[in-house]
Amino acid sequence: MRHPVLIALCLLGTVSLAGCQKAEQARIQKEVAGINAADQSNLDAIEMTVADPNEAVAYFSKGVANHPDSTAQKRFLAKSLVRAKRPTEAAKIWMQVTSAPDATPEDSVDYADALIRSNEWKKAESVLNAIPPTHESFDRYRLEAMVADSNKQWAKADSFYDTAAGMTTQPAGVYNNWGFSKLSRHDYVGAERLFLEALTYDPTLFTAKNNLVLARGAQRKYDIPVIQMTQTEHSELLYTLALTAIKQGDVATGKGLLKEAIDTNPQYFEAAQRSLNALNANVSN
């Protein structure tokens, strides 16, 4: 009489055991999926930051092909295309990203960046204008400043440059761009101040050094201020200063600076020598 009860208990035990096994399998699968997701995320990060840009493009192109609805993969692809200096293609992908349900305001900022790199300034301005004013980021204000510059809206550009510089701990690039804006407006004193400011944050930024020399040369200041520079950089800056002097009609000063540039360079400075030879030939004629 007890056999049915025993059988029932055995069946109940079997069902419970099977349920436990399924629960354990589900737990293990979940953990494995989590590990795979983490590995995938790490691999994506490596491809995004370390890999050759064109290799990253190929990698994320495959990711988009395998997961066409993944906004994240499209973001990675667009960023990789920008790194690979293919901004026109990047802009097309960013347009898809910004149309996705999970798009963010920063995606639109990146879209505007790709458009500017593609020389589509008006379209970039339209994209920036559509971003809610509550979204405040360094990149947004940096791009807003550049667009205002392109429209010759100087007061607006200055305001955006100032805001962007205050939103990063590494504002050297912002100050350099701002200085170049002042240079284009013939505000050479203001440009010189901003280039010097850029170099206080990044003493190795050669673009700012060269721009500084241009700003000083435009004021007929034909000497290089005390800044950090290598011997080769010193020679190249003297060459820039020489060309600026010659362009302004100060030929004798330019000639002297060319000679100094040639003597300072640790290697043969072909461009400076060629300019000096051309200058001497012109004087002889």
DSSP-based three-state secondary structure for 122: helix
Most confident by average pLDDT, 24-38, 48-62, 171-185: 171-185
Q: Is residue 249 part of a domain?
A: yes
Count: domains in the chain: 1
Q: Determine the Cα–Cα distance for residues 150 and 94; give it in Å rounded to an integer.
A: 22
Instruction: Report pLDDT for 39.
Output: 44
Residue 108 is encoded by which pair of tokens? 């639109």
Instruction: Please give the residue range of the domain that contains residue 275.
Output: 230-285
CB atoms within 10 A of CB 1: 4
Q: Is residue 238 part of a domain?
A: yes
Q: Is residue 159 part of a domain?
A: no
Q: Is residue 239 part of a domain?
A: yes
| Helix 138-150 vs helix 172-184: crossing angle, to nearest 10 | 10
The pLDDT tens digits for 223-271 are: 999 999 999 999 999 999 999 999 999 999 999 999 999 999 999 999 9
CB atoms within 10 A of CB 143: 24
Predicted TM-score (pTM) of this structure: 0.79
pLDDT > 80? residue 6: no
Q: How many CA atoms lie within 13 A of 270 on its CB side?
A: 0
Q: How large is the average pLDDT for residues 179-205?
A: 97
User: pLDDT-based confidence at 194, cuts 50/70/90?
Assistant: very high
Name the CA radius of gyration of the chain, rounded: 30
Residue 59 is encoded by which pair of tokens? 């990698």
- Amino acid at position 227, single letter: I
User: pLDDT-based confidence at 279, cuts 50/70/90?
Assistant: confident
The pLDDT tens digits for 11-51 are: 444 444 445 555 545 543 444 344 343 344 445 555 555 56
Contact predicate 82/56, CB 8 Å: no
Q: Is residue 257 part of a domain?
A: yes
Q: Determine the Cα–Cα distance for residues 241 and 231; give it in Å rounded to an integer.
A: 15
Most confident by average pLDDT, 20-29, 57-66, 215-224: 215-224
Q: Determine the Cα–Cα distance for residues 278 and 137; give it in Å rounded to an integer.
A: 50
Instruction: Report pLDDT for 16.
Output: 47
Q: Is residue 243 part of a domain?
A: yes
Instruction: Report pLDDT for 281.
Output: 83
Q: Is residue 274 part of a domain?
A: yes
Residue 21, phi-psi category: left (phi > 0), alpha (psi -120 to 50), beta (remainder): alpha
Three-class HEC string of 205-260:
CHHHHHHHHHHHHHCCCCCCCCCCCCHHHHHHHHHHHHHHHHHCCCHHHHHHHHHH
Q: Determine the Cα–Cα distance for residues 37 and 260; give it in Å rounded to an integer.
A: 60
Q: Is residue 263 part of a domain?
A: yes
